[in-house]
Amino acid sequence: MNVRGPIDLRFRGRRGLVGVYVVDTDSGPALFDTGPASTLAALELGLAEHGTSLAELEHVLLSHVHLDHAGAVGTILRDHPHLTVWVSEVGAGHLVDPSRLERSARRLFGEAFDALWGELVPVPKTNVRIASGAVLGWEAFPTVGHASHHVSYASSGTVLAGDATGVRLPSSEFVLPAAPPPDIDVDAWQATVAAIRARRPERLAVTHFGVYADVEAHLDRLDHGLAAWASRVRDGLDETAFVEAARVDTADRAEDYDAAAPFAMSWHGLRRYWDTR
């Protein structure tokens, strides 16, 4: 397999919440997603355990610019300016100038921002490339729905899925359709699932968390969960009741799922989706 990992970033001091991957490309090894700057020490330790380092990588492939996936990229580039960063066209501007992204996140997370995410550092424009079509032996294709700036990468039976195929924690079969604001789009996400199915992958590399080979079953669960969660909000379930229903869905893993993708944020994202349609 052309993917090594996941490298567990021990996000929020827990195992199995955020994982990134070292992937082989036609132009040397790359890192798929970086996690936030707050977990950079865990990233460097995990890379060493896989026999490599940031200095030995050539590229960073980003799924999207949410801070749990790309928050550390500017900090990494400051110390390793040789790296080329691949990101969607929509997301590229947020890397070069993360100020708007930071303002939005600080409003959302308040005093918890710094502990959760660490610093946000701009990425030099000269290091940024647009991830579309053929990218270093991978196919970069849009996988919007969770976010308008989401892309995934396919090669040799593997899809580097990011959040496009939901959140599924180790030793669990539940696939959580993380739907944070501001640009969750249920219809677009359903189309994304169909686009991933059409590529007939053998495995999905999921940032939250792990590599899964039961692809059809996984995507079926995502489709079902997305429809169910969207319907709950459309039909008037309030935030408190929605969160309680999500805790029932995730059973004895509720605390971990809520730490990886807070249930309340999915309510807010889906509420905004229905309110703006």
Please check whether residue 171 lies inside any domain of the structure. yes
For residues 213-223, average pLDDT? 98
Q: Assign residue 51 the CATH number of its domain.
A: 3.60.15.10
pLDDT band at 154 (very low <50, low <70, confident <90, very high): very high
Predicted pLDDT of residue 2: 83
Please check whether residue 62 lies inside any domain of the structure. yes
pLDDT in tens, 176-205: 999 999 989 999 999 999 999 999 999 999
Please check whether residue 250 lies inside any domain of the structure. no
Distance of CA 194 to CAs 4, 145, 167, 246, Å? 26, 12, 17, 25
Q: What pTM, to 2 d.p., does this model score?
A: 0.95
Give the Cα separation of 22 and 33 in Å (integer): 9
Predicted pLDDT of residue 162: 97
Please check whether residue 164 lies inside any domain of the structure. yes
For residues 87-116, average pLDDT? 93
pLDDT band at 276 (very low <50, low <70, confident <90, very high): very high
pLDDT in tens, 6-48: 999 999 999 999 999 999 999 999 999 999 999 999 999 999 9
Please check whether residue 248 lies inside any domain of the structure. no
Whether residue 108 is predicted with pLDDT greater than 90 in this model: the reply is no
Give the Cα separation of 14 and 237 in Å (integer): 30
Please check whether residue 233 lies inside any domain of the structure. no
Please check whether residue 92 lies inside any domain of the structure. yes
60 has which bridge partners?
31, 85
Domain extent for 68 = 3-224
Q: Looking at the 3D structure of the chain, how many domains does it have?
A: 1
